[in-house]
């Protein structure tokens, strides 16, 4: 069994780490460079850095901030937000990112996934999918959860894999920020459908939720923000807890 990964997410707006509930009600959560260094030192397996307003405001991710974060950490680092071309991805990877995360741009132009994978390898391409369960269908949204994409979660995830994605990051908009647990049924379906790693996102509230994402949802990694940012869960404690559940962690 591959070791399960714990990934703190740094949602960044105007140079500050922020957190919201159900994609709204955004509040400040600290300095992203300082937080990144703290997480790297406390045992995080990877980090995800998302410029949450980049697509919405039609601007590129701030590569200067990426460079500052990259200098502070020694763990893999994914960057997303406003990436709409191979050139955008190249700039971020050159700035120190290990992977790029595509969301809205991949939906609007799916060939972008393959273009980046062909140049840098599938291992560099994470396709992030924001979806909301409504009328028994997981509807995909773009632009930070603002606009329905006309796609269904499982079909889009499989298409993204076929196009060259190396990982799928699935965020349940129903669970995001609620601390009520991950969308484990959807995660399990995803993990059985595709042959690339699935990262669970949206809903972490306690350590059992992480265990459930791995044991019930078959997720390969679990991502969270507020429970880490506000000190509700310490990563060393989480990893010790997961080991008691016979879950392999790094």
- Domain extents for the chain? 5-244
The Cα–Cα gap between 114 and 151 comes to 19
User: What is the Cα gyration radius of the chain?
Assistant: 16
The per-residue pLDDT of the chain, averaged, comes to 90
The Cα–Cα gap between 133 and 163 comes to 25
The Cα–Cα gap between 246 and 29 comes to 32
- Report the predicted TM-score, pTM, of the whole model to 2 decimal places: 0.92
Q: Got the DSSP string for 192-236? A: HH-SS-EEEES---SHHHHHHHHHTS--SEEEESHHHHTTSS-HH
Q: Which two tokens stand for residue 31?
A: 């300095």
The Cα–Cα gap between 72 and 36 comes to 7
Q: What pLDDT digit, counting tens, does each position of 5-25 carry?
A: 999 998 887 777 776 555 555
pLDDT higher than threshold 90 for residue 31: no
For the 5-244 domain, the top CATH level (class) is alpha beta
Report the pLDDT value the prediction gives residue 58, as an integer from 0 to 100: 45
Per the CB < 8 A criterion, the answer to whether 107 and 151 are in contact is: yes
Q: Out of 51, 88, 130, 212, which one is annotated catalytic?
A: 130
Q: Which residues pair with 133 in a beta bridge?
A: 138
3-state secondary structure of 20: strand
The Cα–Cα gap between 12 and 190 comes to 27
Active site residue 51: no
Q: Which two tokens stand for residue 249?
A: 């962690």
Higher-confidence position of 230 and 220: 220
**Per residue in 117-144, is it b (16+ CB within 10 Å) or e — as a string?**
beebebebbbbbbbbbbeeeebbbbbbb
Share of the chain above pLDDT 90, in %: 72
Q: What pLDDT digit, counting tens, does each position of 150-206 carry?
A: 999 999 999 999 999 999 999 999 998 889 999 999 999 999 999 999 999 999 999
Active site residue 130: yes
Per the CB < 8 A criterion, the answer to whether 221 and 5 are in contact is: yes
Instruction: Write the DSSP symbol of residue 122.
Output: G
The Cα–Cα gap between 7 and 200 comes to 10
Contacts of 135 (CB under 8 A, 6+ apart): none
């Amino acid at each position: 069994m591959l070791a399960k990964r714990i990934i703190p997410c740094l949602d960044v707006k105007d140079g500050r780490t922020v957190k919201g509930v159900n994609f709204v009600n955004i509040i400040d959560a600290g300095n992203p460079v300082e937080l990144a260094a703290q997480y790297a030192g406390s045992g995080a397996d990877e980090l995800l850095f998302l410029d949450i307003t980049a697509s919405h405001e039609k601007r590129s991710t701030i590569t200067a901030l990426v460079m500052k974060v990259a200098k502070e950490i020694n763990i893999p680092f994914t960057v997303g937000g406003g990436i709409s071309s191979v050139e955008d991805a190249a700039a971020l990877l050159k700035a120190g990112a290990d992977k790029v995360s595509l969301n809205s741009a991949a939906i609007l132009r799916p060939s972008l996934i393959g273009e980046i994978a062909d140049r840098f390898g599938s291992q560099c391409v994470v396709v992030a999918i924001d979806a909301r369960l409504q009328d028994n269908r997981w509807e995909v949204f773009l632009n930070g959860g603002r606009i329905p994409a006309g796609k269904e979660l499982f079909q889009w995830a499989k298409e993204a894999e076929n196009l060259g994605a190396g990982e799928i990051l699935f965020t349940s908009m129903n669970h995001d920020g609620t601390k009520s647990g991950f969308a484990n049924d959807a995660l399990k379906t995803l993990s059985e459908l595709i042959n690339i790693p699935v990262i669970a996102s949206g809903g972490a509230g306690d350590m059992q939720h992480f265990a459930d994402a791995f044991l019930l949802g078959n997720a390969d990694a679990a991502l969270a923000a507020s429970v880490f940012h506000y000190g509700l869960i310490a990563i060393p404690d989480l990893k010790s807890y997961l080991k008691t559940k016979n879950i392999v962690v790094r």
